[in-house]
């Protein structure tokens, strides 16, 4: 799936005079504003629109026809279109590092938050993580932490018990809404809704995160403000614990 840009058109954006902020906001975005800069600064742009944008006042056609005319008049950009498969090949040739997704918090960007379902909340993302390593007492720490009335951990997984193991497995590629067979639970649904966002702390404990090369980058992108807890003990004690 190629990344898509927003263009200010949503399912309810169907009348020119009723555009949020007034028609001038839409025209400003087209004529040198956010929409124009999106095309100017990205070699490949894929915009998300809705069927309703092509009925009523046809704002979809209005927006992109005027955007193309503005670009043609005021820039030397040459616009091209490609079929989906060829476009994907072109995109990943330019950005091979993006073949693997890197999920970010959907509430950190106002544009993303505007299209985020009102039934969902980013308050269910953990505020700190216990990342291991294994055989250092992470399970004991987990049990001690959840005794505190203001600290809650994720709900148990059918396969991995108290560990979610999201950032270090293929479940990550399914996004923050990945589904676990047999549980009907999404990633954020592993965490309870905090009764008080300012005082309650959610966390997850996955000891397999410690040796994972992908986990630091992925966790930093999705949870940039989260605290990281690591337990370090004598390697000989760890080896003996494994032996036992």
Per the DSSP assignment, residues forming a β-bridge with 202 are: 152
CA-to-CA distance for 57 and 52, rounded, in angstroms?
A: 9
Rounded to the nearest 5 percent, the helix, strand and coil shares of the chain are 40, 10, 50
CA-to-CA distance for 166 and 208, rounded, in angstroms?
A: 10
Options 135, 174, 205, 225, the catalytic residue: 135
Is 135 marked active-site? yes
Give per-residue burial for 91-112: e unless 16+ CB within 10 Å, then b: beeeeeeeeeeebebbeeeeee
Q: Could you tell me which residues are annotated as the binding site for 3'-phosphoadenylyl sulfate?
A: 241
In which element (H, E) is residue 69 found?
helix 59-74
**What residues are annotated to the active site?**
135
């Amino acid at each position: 799936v190629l990344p898509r840009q927003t263009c200010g058109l949503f399912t309810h954006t169907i009348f020119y005079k009723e555009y949020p902020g007034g028609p001038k906001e839409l025209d400003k975005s087209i004529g040198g504003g956010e929409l124009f800069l999106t095309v100017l600064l990205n070699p490949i742009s894929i915009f998300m629109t809705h069927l309703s944008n092509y009925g009523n006042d046809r704002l979809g056609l209005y927006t992109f026809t005027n955007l193309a005319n503005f670009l043609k008049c005021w820039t030397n950009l040459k616009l091209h279109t490609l079929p989906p498969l060829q476009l994907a090949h072109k995109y990943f040739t330019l950005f091979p590092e993006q073949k693997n997704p890197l999920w970010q918090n959907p509430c950190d960007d106002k544009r993303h938050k505007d299209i985020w379902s009102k039934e969902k909340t980013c308050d269910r993302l953990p505020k700190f993580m216990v990342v291991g390593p294994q055989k250092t007492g992470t399970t004991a720490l987990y049990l001690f932490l959840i005794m505190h009335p203001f600290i809650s951990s994720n709900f148990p997984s059918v396969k991995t018990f108290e560990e979610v193991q999201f950032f270090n497995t293929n479940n990550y590629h399914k996004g923050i809404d990945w589904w676990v067979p047999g549980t009907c639970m999404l990633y954020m649904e592993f965490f309870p809704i905090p009764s008080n966002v300012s005082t309650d702390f959610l966390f997850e404990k996955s000891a397999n995160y410690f040796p994972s090369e992908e986990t630091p980058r992925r966790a930093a992108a999705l949870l940039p403000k989260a605290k990281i807890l690591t337990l370090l003990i004598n390697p000989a004690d760890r080896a003996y614990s494994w032996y036992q």
